[in-house]
Chains A and B, each alone.
Chain A
Amino acid sequence: MVQVVFEKVSKAYGDTVAIPGLDLTIESGEFVSLLGPSGCGKSTTLRMLAGLEQPSSGSIRIGDRDVVNLAPAARDIAMVFQSYALYPHMTVAENICYPLKKRGVAKADRAIKLAEVAALLQLEPLLARKPGQLSGGQQQRVALGRALVREPSVFLLDEPLSNLDASLRAHMRAELIELHRRLGKTMVYVTHDQLEAMTMSSRIAVMRAGELQQFAPPDEIYNRPANVFVAGFIGTPAMALAEGSLADGGGHLVVHVGPLAVALPYAAAARPAAVTVGIRPEDVLVGEGPWQAQVRLVEPTGYETIVALDAGGLALTARVPGSNALRVGETVAFDLRRERIHLFDKSDGRRWEPAGR
Chain B
Amino acid sequence: MPDIALQRSGLSRERRDALLGLLLIAPTVLVLGAVIVYPLLSAIALSFQSVYTPTLEGHWVGLANYRELLGSGGFWAALLTTAIWTVGTLTLQVLIGVAMALLLHQNIIFRSLARSLVLFPYFLSTVVAVLVWRWLFNDLYGIVNHALMAAGIIDAPVNWLGAMPNAMLSIMVVGAWKFFPFVVIAVLARLQTIPEALYEAARIDGAGPISRFFDVTLPQLRDVLTIVILLRTVWDFKEFDLIYLMTGGGPVNGTRTLPLIVYQQAFGLNQMGMAAAYAVSMMLVMLVFMLAYLQRARKAAA
A residues apposed to B, CB below 8 Å: 51, 54, 68-71
The 9 tightest CB contacts between A and B, nearest first, are A54-B14, A69-B13, A54-B13, A69-B12, A71-B7, A71-B13, A54-B12, A51-B13, A68-B13
Of chain A, the residue at the smallest CB distance from B4 is: A71
A68 vs B14: C-alpha distance when bound (angstroms): 11
CB A214 to nearest CB in B, in angstroms, measures 31
Binary contact readout B1-43 vs A (1 if CB under 8 angstroms, 0 otherwise) = 0000001000011100000000000000000000000000000
Listed residue (A51, A70, A71) with the most chain B CB atoms within 10 angstroms of its CB:
A71
Of chain B, the residue at the smallest CB distance from A73 is: B7
A70 vs B13: C-alpha distance when bound (angstroms): 7
CB A249 to nearest CB in B, in angstroms, measures 60
The prevalent SS among residues of B at the interface is helix
Question: Which residues of A have CB within 8 Å of B12?
Answer: 54, 69
CB B20 to nearest CB in A, in angstroms, measures 12
Of chain B, the residue at the smallest CB distance from A72 is: B13
Question: Which residues of B have CB within 8 Å of A70?
Answer: 13
Question: Which residues of A have CB within 8 Å of B13?
Answer: 51, 54, 68-71
A71 vs B14: C-alpha distance when bound (angstroms): 11
Task: Given contact pairs A54-B14, A69-B12, A69-B13, enumerate 7 new A-B contacts (beta carbons under 8 Å).
Answer: A51-B13, A54-B12, A54-B13, A68-B13, A70-B13, A71-B7, A71-B13
A69 vs B15: C-alpha distance when bound (angstroms): 11
A71 vs B4: C-alpha distance when bound (angstroms): 10
Question: Which residues of B have CB within 8 Å of A54?
Answer: 12-14
CB B6 to nearest CB in A, in angstroms, measures 10
CB B57 to nearest CB in A, in angstroms, measures 55
Of chain B, the residue at the smallest CB distance from A68 is: B13
CB A30 to nearest CB in B, in angstroms, measures 27
Of chain B, the residue at the smallest CB distance from A70 is: B13
A54 vs B7: C-alpha distance when bound (angstroms): 15
A58 vs B288: C-alpha distance when bound (angstroms): 50
Question: Which residues of A have CB within 8 Å of B14?
Answer: 54
Of chain A, the residue at the smallest CB distance from B3 is: A71
A323 vs B12: C-alpha distance when bound (angstroms): 63
CB A334 to nearest CB in B, in angstroms, measures 47
CB A77 to nearest CB in B, in angstroms, measures 15
A68 vs B16: C-alpha distance when bound (angstroms): 13
A69 vs B12: C-alpha distance when bound (angstroms): 6
A250 vs B13: C-alpha distance when bound (angstroms): 64
CB A244 to nearest CB in B, in angstroms, measures 49
Question: Which residues of A have CB within 8 Å of B7?
Answer: 71
Of chain B, the residue at the smallest CB distance from A51 is: B13
For window 95-112 of B, CB contacts with A under 8 Å fall at: none
CB A351 to nearest CB in B, in angstroms, measures 39
CB B201 to nearest CB in A, in angstroms, measures 29
Question: Which residues of B have CB within 8 Å of A51?
Answer: 13
Question: Which residues of B have CB within 8 Å of A68?
Answer: 13
A69 vs B13: C-alpha distance when bound (angstroms): 6
A278 vs B166: C-alpha distance when bound (angstroms): 86
A51 vs B16: C-alpha distance when bound (angstroms): 14
Question: Which residues of B have CB within 8 Å of A69?
Answer: 12-13
A69 vs B8: C-alpha distance when bound (angstroms): 11
CB A75 to nearest CB in B, in angstroms, measures 12
CB A49 to nearest CB in B, in angstroms, measures 14
A219 vs B7: C-alpha distance when bound (angstroms): 44
CB A65 to nearest CB in B, in angstroms, measures 15
A54 vs B13: C-alpha distance when bound (angstroms): 8
A54 vs B14: C-alpha distance when bound (angstroms): 7
A273 vs B9: C-alpha distance when bound (angstroms): 59
A74 vs B194: C-alpha distance when bound (angstroms): 46
A90 vs B7: C-alpha distance when bound (angstroms): 28
Instruction: Report 10 cross-chain contacts, Cβ distance below 8 Å, ordered by A residue.
Output: A51-B13, A54-B12, A54-B13, A54-B14, A68-B13, A69-B12, A69-B13, A70-B13, A71-B7, A71-B13
CB B23 to nearest CB in A, in angstroms, measures 17
A68 vs B12: C-alpha distance when bound (angstroms): 9
A133 vs B120: C-alpha distance when bound (angstroms): 35
CB B254 to nearest CB in A, in angstroms, measures 56
CB A11 to nearest CB in B, in angstroms, measures 12
CB A333 to nearest CB in B, in angstroms, measures 51
Of chain B, the residue at the smallest CB distance from A69 is: B13
